[in-house]
Amino acid sequence: MGLDTPDMKELLEPSPPIRYGDRTGANYVGGPRHLSAVLPALSACLGAPVATDVHPSAKALQEALGLPDARSVVVVLVDGLGFWNLVSRQGHVPYLRSLLSEPINQRPLYTSLPSTTVAAMGVFGTGTSPGLTGMTGYTQLNPDTGQLGQMIQFRGAQDPERLQRRPTVFETLQAQGVRVTSSGLPRFRNSALTRAALRGGDYLAHNHSRQRLLAACQAARQSGLTYLYIRDVDKVGHHSGWEGEEWVAALEATDAQLAELHRRLPAGTLTVIVADHGMVEADPDQRIDIAQDPELSQDVRLVGGEPRAVMLYLDQGADPQVVSARWHDRLGERAWVLTRDQAIQQGIFGPVDPRIRPMIGDLLILAGDRVTLVNSAGQTDAATRLPGVHGSWTRLETQIPCLIDLV
């Protein structure tokens, strides 16, 4: 049975509230079918279940995701490959299309909110939530300096290990004597993001994508967990958009890599392919520059987050309710405006550590349709005009694949 792509208008509607934990049920979005559940579930597949602050039962996650026991597991994270981005271009990817033909692979997972790499990688690596990892957006408040820190390279941010104090699943598995191997670019070996979210295990560094793939295949010959990261789909999407030929070419190249992985892995290896978020094609005519709008910039000290999920840090003494009302009146149906308290009460950041709470903006603005919210006073012109964006809570951005392949 094939998959049809819903109307784009439907895909740009917000998802129901995404929940963290092991609970399942009708109208309950997330739970076991969440990016935070993947590594704990795979730990159970390996017979070394890892419980986390959000997911107490790794075995329950394994059963909910329909994952078999396995001696060797390979988990591949394809940056930026949303479930519906993939389904809409499935004609270009024979290997991934063959996986999508299986009913078990036709159910998307949900990623974190904001639906962005920093938050999602923290959720993926620890099996918890942004409110516990402290990794809440592309830029966020550093309470030590009172200024924004950029959270990909952690420029201006707290040290990774000081900010993100939860044990990673890799660390916990390694402590149990399970082999854990990551295959990635040399510059990511000791990067801040790796140290925060993916620390633990051995790291095999190669510059060429095929060398990384072959290294992962070699590692998988031994029992344990192997992690492979593929970035090109996201990189091309940001710079060219996801609806054009360049993105399709990057997707085709990724499909070819994954097909070779399938061919080269030893028999009995379990492969699970996931992503960190999807992507929306920005509309230049729906670009809103906060710095150029006096109503929006009033009472705002810092503009953090990203173009689809802005976090506003207000001037001292400013009332978040008043500013929220002003933004709501100004933006109408183009975005959803939440105070920090409302966002936390709705579970957007999952469980929140009191230490992390001040790092979350006084207001969270989630863009609708193809809207982007930028700040020309603090961003380069190129950064305010990216063709491909993500971060909000639409289905296009929050629903990701979980493709299971037992070699």
pLDDT in tens, 42-67: 999 999 999 999 999 999 999 999 99
Q: ∠ CA 227-204-35 to the nearest 5 degrees?
A: 20
What tokens does 158 get?
């707290």
- The reported pLDDT for the residue numbered 87 is 97
Q: What is the dihedral of CA 404, 405, 406, 407, to 10 degrees?
A: -160
Rounded to an integer, the average pLDDT of 306-335 is: 97
pLDDT band for 26, please (50, 70, 90 cuts).
Answer: low
Asked if 233 and 247 count as a contact pair (C-beta separation under 8 A), the reply is yes
Is-above-0.85 flag for pTM? yes
- The reported pLDDT for the residue numbered 261 is 98
Rounded to an integer, the average pLDDT of 105-111 is: 96
- What the chain holds in terms of domains, given with CATH numbers, is 8-280+394-406 (3.40.720.10), 284-389 (3.30.1360.180)
Rounded to an integer, the average pLDDT of 160-180 is: 98
pLDDT band for 23, please (50, 70, 90 cuts).
Answer: confident
pLDDT band for 3, please (50, 70, 90 cuts).
Answer: confident
pLDDT beyond 60 at 84: yes
Asked if 119 and 336 count as a contact pair (C-beta separation under 8 A), the reply is no
pLDDT band for 28, please (50, 70, 90 cuts).
Answer: low
pLDDT in tens, 249-291: 999 999 999 999 999 999 999 999 999 999 999 999 999 999 9
pLDDT in tens, 380-393: 999 999 999 999 99
**Across-strand partners of 227?**
75, 182
Phi, psi of 364 (to 5 degrees): -115, 125
